[in-house]
Amino acid sequence: MKNFLLVTNSVKDADSSYSERIKTSLEALGGKCCGNLFTRPDENGNYIYASPESVPEETEFIIVLGGDGTFIHVAKDLIDCNLPIIGVNLGTLGYLTEIDVNDLERDFFKILSGDCHIEKRMLLDGEIIRNGEVISRDIALNDIVLNRSQTMGIIDFEVHVNGTFLNRYSADGIIVSTPTGSTGYNLSAGGPIVYPTADIILATPICAHTLNSRSIAFSADAQIDIIVKGRFSERNQQKIVTFDGASEIILKNEDIIRSRMSEKSAKILRLSDLSFVEHLGKKMR
């Protein structure tokens, strides 16, 4: 792989110094830059990360400059391009953006010489169902989250798995996560870390008001339905669902959030000498 496309977080690289440095380093090693896309807000205030029609045909892999959030949204936006993607960390922890800006030349040499491999990561398909009709669809690389907005009241909801009732919860919300997302919000909420290439779906209640509420791991073929419930004490409580922290949708009582494994998968470029365990250990330290 020689031909690369840069996608740069315009906030974290406002003067383009990092993207120019990366372009220079890769071209010195024999790579070819097919272009540099910059994230930006549109006229409606929505943030645009990347679009498939902006990717040149000769592109063989994509380099994302930013943090894990930028990486996730670019990977989703360009999922239909079916190209491997790797991230340069300009953020904080960087579980997904494994290249450090201090190791650019070393890591890029490995990529251009083929000393790397591609990991396929599962995605979640999500649907919002209201009165028997699908009112919204989206995909998630990290997680689909039921949460509250503005108010502090707890949310009542039921969880059904493959059509069978599992439990009713009173909580701040619930996270349905992929293995990739296990190191994100799921981890902060007390959920387990899962090997990223595993075929597992995690369900983690957020601050549940019970003593026996724990994360549950389901097989990848599970269909998880979360049914939003109401209570008499609610006063103008707004309940929302988000896909990877974006695409916020306001919910009504009895709406169903349906999650299942997508037929699509993300292709993440990994350096061959850095295993997930080593990478995780480095971040934990």
Establish whether 273 is a catalytic residue: no
The Cα–Cα gap between 43 and 265 comes to 30
Q: Which residue(s) pair with 102 in the sheet? A: none
**Which residues make Cβ contacts (< 8 Å) with residue 33, sequence separation at least 6?**
4, 5, 6, 23, 26, 27
Q: Please identify which residue in the block is written with the tokens 């406002």.
A: 14
State both tokens at 252. Answer: 């009504």
**Which residues make Cβ contacts (< 8 Å) with residue 31, sequence separation at least 6?**
2, 3, 4, 108, 112
DSSP strands (E only) in the chain: 3-8, 32-38, 40-41, 47-48, 61-66, 85-89, 99-100, 116-130, 133-140, 143-149, 155-161, 164-171, 173-177, 200-206, 216-219, 224-229, 238-243, 246-251, 256-271
Catalytic residue among 13, 42, 68, 244: 68
Name the residues annotated as catalytic: 68
